[in-house]
Structure 1
């Protein structure tokens, strides 16, 4: 059951490489979770991050975990209890805005691959020293955007990133052009208005457009 930081990063890197964009989803109604996941997967975005920001999040993960072709993870993991609840709900990986020893210890102990967050070279180096080579760059735009991530990559080329926070179709391509970026996290592919309206066709179109980002 236990997972090493190296194996965790290998797995999260594989998941991030499934598509250029990882949807970052805030699900208010678990009844809409499965059709939402189906639309995103059909559009070419199989890796899904459900943030633990609502009371419906864990039930949404349970629903999405049943969607064929999807790889569902839990975002906004802050505490060991968050990690344990996410794993029990069926999450195949976790995502955190930062990293604490307690959270890293818990995820390793229960075998939940974690994509830990870092916003500075020091944070990235500390995680690398522990064995994590696949990180979340968060909050991306507020932390200097693509130029900052490019600068961090120069002395730390062995670290790969999934930038998240302020990513949109307008700037995603710039991030994806960087050699140290595997994918970008974005919430625009699952907008609240379309989810509330149940317009799964429109969400599938957004996903399909996102799945083509970064391709020449």
Structure 2
């Protein structure tokens, strides 16, 4: 099977030329366009998540040989979470070659974080199945690059970090309140307030509730830590 010009260009950005091009096509096929004769990327996504995890765990151990499990775990989570995968996908313009159904096309699917993150994991699995673990490892380490060395020592999810902070002070857990939802249906914007029982709060705006909650939690935690 011959790849299109766009697909061949994507191979260059990815840093891997496929011996079995069908694997790349499957990795870039969203369930919205799958048929009985065309597999989607969900099974590859499942595998790619595990390959990425093994590569990142190994890389973190090699990078900091004195780090404890307690230090390594949040760094690992920061590097393999969906947002990190989507960021890498954007850097190599994966969205440009995603195969989407009409409904996803109409609602901005090429820019959706979840779709990009899932497809990035599927592409990793495709490289693994095409050429083995070392090839996948090479691609991952090149694409993630400086992220591995630059990941914060405390890379915990902000919501988890905030909850641990207030629990340590015997306070009730924070609440997350939707303040406003704006924008079109295909590209919504959410404003979330992270609130403590005493009324202290910080707000943040993002393209998903989850990201807005995380940003609000991070802002509130920073405020609490500065106040003390």
TM superposition score category, shorter chain reference:
under 0.3
Structure with max Cα Rg: 2
Higher relative contact order (CA 8 A, sep 6+): 1
TM-score w.r.t. the length of structure 1 is 0.23
TM-score w.r.t. the length of structure 2 is 0.22
Higher helix proportion: 2
